[in-house]
């Protein structure tokens, strides 16, 4: 990585200023252009983004029926549960993608299960009150952009570090450590929705505003993208 002439990061200056200060002396050109999903919309508009997504070749097609279901739910009443995507590398594992009958029965009156949800649309919905996530970086940044507090259950890779920053650094969510059983999940949801609700929502609102500011025409990420494009043209 030290041989790279340019580093492009899906983050924004106000979110990770201390870290960026530490790595700035190591690289000549660092471009923070996040939240990338929000910056794309600012640059080319929501309508164009929707057209691109509708004509994309995604292997998994988002099920938008969940948005219709969300329309009937009260404000900030729903917890979105999604742990990203996992590729199956063996053909011998069968039935591992089946939804347990117990889960289907328990959620049919108060939940909605889909194979693949349009995550940005779900997080942006007014009914969204929390995000139970594996804390992958894209999910964390999209949640900040949408202003939705998180419950993080880190699995591997960068998840542990992301989760720690969400819970202890930025205080925009909670980290579920070690044991993950029904009582722990229930406690986490109650903490997010009741005991620490105001504190976490306040912090999240602050960071969400900073994220939106960064992708505005006068924002740092917007300007960094313009600079990146200009620099690449000179090569």
Q: Which domains does the chain have, with CATH numbers?
A: 7-56+63-234 (3.40.50.2000)
Between 1-5, 55-59, 78-82, 147-151, the lowest mean confidence (pLDDT) is in 55-59
pLDDT bin (cut points 50, 70, 90) of residue 91 is low
pLDDT band at 28 (very low <50, low <70, confident <90, very high): confident
**CA proximity to 65, closest of 113, 120, 124, 126:** 113
Q: Please count the other Cβ atoms lying within 10 Å of the Cβ belonging to residue 89.
A: 6
Beta strand 30-32 with 7-9 is parallel
Predicted confidence at residue 148, as pLDDT, reads 98
- Do the beta carbons of residue 10 and residue 30 sit within 8 Å? no
d(CA 59, CA 4): 31
Instruction: Summarize the confidence of residues 46-62 as an average pLDDT.
Output: 56
- Strand segments, DSSP code E, in the chain are 7-9, 30-32, 78-82, 128-133, 150-152, 173-175
Mean local confidence (pLDDT), 45-49: 56
Place of tokens 């649309």: 121
Q: Give the residue from 216, 227, 226, 230 showing the smallest Cα distance to 35.
A: 216
Q: Which of the pair, 20 or 108, is modelled with greater confidence?
A: 20
Q: Can you give the pLDDT at residue 218?
A: 96
How far is residue 155's CA from residue 175's CA, in Å, rounded to a whole number? 12
The Cα angle at residue 159 between residues 75 and 149, in degrees rounded to 5: 15
pLDDT exceeds cutoff 70 at 31:
yes
Structure tokens at 141: 């940044």
For residue 104, what pLDDT is reported?
Answer: 79
Instruction: State the average pLDDT over residues 110-139.
Output: 95
Q: What number is the average pLDDT over the span 108-122?
A: 91
The Cα 109–Cα 120 span in angstroms is: 24
pLDDT, averaged across the chain: 89
Q: Which two three-digit tokens encode residue 143?
A: 């949640």
134 is written with which tokens? 């594996």
Average pLDDT over residues 142-168: 97
Phi, psi at 163, each rounded to 5°: -60, -40
Task: Quote the DSSP letter at residue 26.
Answer: G
pLDDT of residue 57: 43
């Amino acid at each position: 990585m030290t041989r790279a002439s340019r580093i492009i990061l899906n983050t924004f200056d106000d979110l990770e200023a201390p870290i960026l200060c530490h790595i700035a002396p190591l690289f000549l050109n660092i471009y923070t252009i996040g939240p990338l999903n929000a910056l794309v919309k600012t640059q080319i508009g929501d309508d164009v983004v929707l057209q691109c997504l509708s004509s994309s070749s995604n292997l998994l097609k988002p099920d938008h029926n969940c948005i219709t279901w969300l329309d009937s739910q009260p404000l900030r009443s729903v917890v979105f549960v999604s742990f990203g995507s996992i590729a199956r590398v063996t053909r011998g594992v069968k039935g591992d993608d089946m939804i347990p009958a117990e889960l289907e029965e328990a959620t049919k009156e108060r939940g909605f299960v889909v194979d693949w949800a349009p995550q940005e649309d779900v997080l942006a919905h007014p009914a969204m009150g929390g995000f139970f996530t594996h804390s992958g970086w894209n999910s964390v940044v999209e949640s900040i952009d949408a202003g939705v507090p998180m419950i993080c259950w880190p699995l591997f890779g960068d998840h542990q570090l992301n989760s720690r920053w969400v819970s202890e650094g930025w205080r925009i969510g909670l980290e579920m450590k070690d044991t993950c059983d029904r009582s722990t999940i229930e406690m986490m949801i109650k903490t997010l929705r009741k005991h620490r609700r105001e504190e976490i929502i306040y912090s999240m609102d602050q960071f969400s505003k900073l994220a939106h500011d960064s992708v505005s025409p006068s924002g740092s990420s917007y300007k960094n993208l313009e600079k990146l494009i200009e620099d690449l043209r000179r090569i």
